[in-house]
Amino acid sequence: MSAKETGIFLQLMKNEGRRSLYLGLTPALTRSVLYGGLRLGLYEPTKVSFDWAFGSTNVLVKIASGAFAGAFSTALTNPVEVVKVRLQMNPNAVPIAEVREIVSKEGIGALWKGVGPAMVRAAALTASQLATYDEAKRILVKRTSLEEGFHLHLCSSVVAGLVSTLITAPMDMIKTRLMLQQGSESTKTYRNGFHCGYKVVRKEGPLALYKGGFAIFARLGPQTMITFILCEKLRSLAGLHTM
């Protein structure tokens, strides 16, 4: 963790208490259930459909399947993500009241603020996570003594967590900045995701795209491991084949 990230953490704890670390928890959990279930549930059927259409399940097909599952899922759940970000900035707000305020002041389209970059980010995240996990499992089984089971799932998910963090950290930063924008089109700092990325790189340097990268991995790494290990276990209990 960088000195700046440590300073922010300590300042939050001092000024706002432990509760500040869990602001927006309700919409975050809601989105996780909906988004996580959709993207994981759509991956296998999409891969099977591509296999039927193209007669192949190579790594490109896995990437395309993950990208579709992620983009489609986030398009449906983006309003919950917007509410989560707003609640983190306004700890006294109530989720339903915040939704009403956003719609009344900014229009219903405001619930889909940043949906373009969010879809790109979700497509990249899901593709990198699921395709990397899928391929890592295949390679580990082929080149090591690991067999189907907990240790194989753990090693594969660690690799997937690292790769997905490297790919999605810049997109997370851009998405958050876009979602926090308020006001009319003429007063906005960033016109779109590409414009936001360009301005950040120009003013703050390329490494600014990875601001909070350690914090992202601290969340995404364990989340990826837990997600895949539980998913594989639930598929096994349900009598389904492994991913």
- Fold assignment, 1-123: Mitochondrial carrier fold (1.50.40)
Each domain of the chain, given as residue ranges in start order, spans 1-123, 144-242
pLDDT in tens, the chain (243 residues): 555 656 666 776 777 667 666 666 776 777 778 888 888 888 988 888 888 888 877 888 899 999 999 999 998 888 888 887 787 777 677 778 878 888 888 888 888 887 887 888 789 889 999 999 999 999 999 998 888 889 999 999 999 999 988 888 887 888 777 777 766 666 677 878 788 888 888 888 888 888 877 888 888 889 899 989 998 988 888 888 887
Q: Which residues contact 220 (CB under 8 A, 6 or more apart)?
A: 161, 164, 165, 168
* Model pLDDT, residue 4: 60
Burial level of 146, CB count in 10 A (0-12/13-18/19+)? middle
Report how far residue 198's alpha carbon sits from residue 182's, in angstroms, rounded to the nearest whole number: 20
Q: Is the pTM of this model over 0.75?
A: no
- The 10s digit of each residue's pLDDT in 86-124 is 877 776 777 788 788 888 888 888 888 878 878 887 898
